[in-house]
């Protein structure tokens, strides 16, 4: 275990003791639910018990840092930092835990050498203690908003110093934590290092009792994530497929957004006949549902998830996992989903790294600072609804120079963040490991 200085949070408050009793009582039901969910997501049966702390891999020799992230976005945002830490200290190993089958599939493709993946143990003392006894982490890094009380307390009790990185909490979450001030303050006092995505979270955690000597804003890990992987041969093939006319992408759309996207597509096609759309729903299992929407509007449609090539279709439904980098690299202009509904937006830095001109809706509370930075610098455009999306898309297609300029601004803004990664990696190593 690390000999790094760890703060003493003091005795647990009454609400934490109550939470432990409740967590223990509902653990069988919680495990039953996650077991069935992981099975539906295609997780091998022998890996599902990892959620109860049963390891399926051997612990590597030497020092190990445990990184925990909730799901795909959070885990991907951690990979660049993990890679940099392992480059600085190649004798160290990394373990990353997540909770979903989708995130496990993404990690299997994208983890750097020296990094292992397991499913996160449920927030119960028996599962966590089994997990910690096997992995014996020298340090623990939690990513974003994952503040599971027993995970924090048990990891600290094992002797490992903790960091909370890329912390992001909405005003509503901060208000909820403020209802339990003693517990919030006690949990935050377990951390030796806290870095937030935005000023709102920094101020909120300070008000909840975080130690100000360990708390600071930034940098944002999502701004430092590596470009999404692209199959070069497939990209060349797709360029040939779409060489004859204009193309745009609707990326990571959610229910309720596809109608707006298809209406925008129809409006833009009125000014740009031959315009084709790649429509990539956030959840690939919705592929046939989305394709049916397009067919109802009289659009020729093909689905990648069904093994079909574009074949000249007006709408190509990209309902596969792990290919978003291909679509970002292919399309010169795109709409980024989760911004018309109430999901709060998606990571703007990923398409920006590909140099695409990004259009987005007005609802992006999860990434408010990032979207403001891009919009203020002319590196992205906000549109109110589907009608505005159609007009903005047609205007950009009318002016390829402006469209390319927006993409270049976005790419410069995204890559400018990389130099801050070294500083964060060194802070983690210096603070958590002696």
Active site residues: 74
Do residues 195 and 25 touch, judged by C-beta distance below 8 A? no
Peptide bond into 378 cis (omega under 30): no
- Count of residues in the chain: 434
Nearest to 35 by CA among 100, 97, 98: 100
Q: Rounded to an integer, what distance in angstroms lies between the CA atom of residue 32 and that of residue 27?
A: 8
Helix (H) or strand (E) holding 334: strand 333-336
Q: In 57-145, where do the E strands start and end?
A: 64-68, 93-98, 115-119, 139-143
Work out the burial of residue 80: count CB atoms within 10 Å of its CB; fewer than 13 is exposed, 13-18 middle, 19 or more buried: buried
CA torsion angle 311 317 318 321 (round to 10)? -130
Q: Rounded to an integer, what distance in angstroms lies between the CA atom of residue 281 and that of residue 279?
A: 6
Q: Tell me the backbone φ, ψ of residue 38, rounded to 5 degrees.
A: -65, -40
Contacts of 33 (CB under 8 A, 6+ apart): none
Q: Rounded to an integer, what distance in angstroms lies between the CA atom of residue 202 and that of residue 212?
A: 9
Q: Rounded to an integer, what distance in angstroms lies between the CA atom of residue 321 and that of residue 19?
A: 37
- Outline where 89-231 has alpha helix (H): 101-110, 125-135, 149-157, 171-178, 181-188, 199-208
Q: Rounded to an integer, what distance in angstroms lies between the CA atom of residue 154 and that of residue 11?
A: 13
DSSP 194: E
Q: Tell me the backbone φ, ψ of residue 189, rounded to 5 degrees.
A: -75, 0
Q: Which two tokens stand for residue 206?
A: 């300070």
Q: Rounded to an integer, what distance in angstroms lies between the CA atom of residue 161 and that of residue 61?
A: 19
Do residues 319 and 304 touch, judged by C-beta distance below 8 A? yes
> Three-state SS for 18?
helix
Nearest to 359 by CA among 318, 402, 313, 323: 402
Do residues 76 and 228 touch, judged by C-beta distance below 8 A? no
């Amino acid at each position: 275990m690390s000999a790094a200085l760890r703060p003493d949070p003091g005795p647990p408050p009454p609400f934490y003791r109550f939470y432990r009793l409740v967590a223990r009582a509902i653990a069988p039901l919680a495990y039953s639910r996650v077991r069935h969910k992981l099975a539906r997501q295609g997780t091998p049966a022998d890996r599902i018990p990892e959620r109860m702390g049963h390891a399926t891999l051997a612990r590597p020799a030497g020092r190990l840092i445990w990184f925990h992230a909730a799901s795909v976005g959070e885990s991907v945002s951690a990979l660049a930092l993990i890679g940099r830490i392992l480059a600085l200290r190649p004798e160290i190993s990394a373990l990353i835990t997540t909770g979903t089958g989708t995130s496990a599939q993404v990690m299997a493709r994208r983890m750097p050498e020296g990094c292992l993946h397991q499913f996160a143990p449920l927030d119960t003392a028996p599962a966590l203690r089994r997990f910690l006894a096997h992995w014996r982490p020298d340090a623990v890094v939690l990513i974003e908003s994952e503040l599971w009380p027993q995970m924090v307390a048990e990891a600290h009790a094992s002797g490992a110093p903790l960091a909370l990185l890329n912390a992001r909490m909405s005003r509503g979450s901060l208000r909820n934590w403020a209802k339990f001030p003693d517990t919030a303050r006690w949990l935050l006092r377990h951390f030796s290092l806290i870095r937030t995505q935005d000023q709102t979270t920094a101020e909120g955690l300070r008000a909840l009792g975080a130690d100000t000597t360990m708390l600071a804003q930034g940098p944002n890990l999502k701004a430092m994530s590596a470009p999404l992987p692209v199959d070069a041969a497939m990209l060349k093939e797709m360029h040939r497929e779409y060489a004859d006319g204009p193309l745009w992408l609707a990326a990571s759309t959610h229910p309720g957004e596809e109608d707006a996207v298809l209406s925008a597509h129809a409006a833009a096609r009125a000014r740009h006949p031959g315009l084709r759309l790649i429509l990539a729903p956030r959840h690939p299992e919705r592929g046939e549902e989305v394709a049916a929407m397009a067919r109802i509007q009289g659009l020729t449609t093909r689905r990648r998830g069904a093994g079909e090539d574009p074949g000249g279709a007006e709408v190509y439904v990209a309902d596969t996992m792990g290919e978003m980098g291909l679509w970002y690299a292919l399309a010169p202009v795109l709409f980024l989903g989760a911004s018309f509904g109430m999901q709060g937006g998606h990571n703007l830095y990923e398409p920006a790294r590909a140099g695409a001109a990004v259009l987005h809706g007005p609802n992006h509370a999860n990434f408010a600072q990032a979207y403001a930075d891009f919009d203020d610098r002319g590196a992205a455009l906000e549109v109110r609804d589907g009608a505005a999306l159609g007009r903005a898309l047609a205007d950009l297609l009318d002016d390829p120079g402006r469209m390319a300029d927006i993409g270049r601004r976005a790419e410069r803004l995204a890559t400018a963040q990389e130099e801050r990664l070294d500083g964060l990696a060194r802070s983690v190593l210096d603070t958590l490991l002696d």
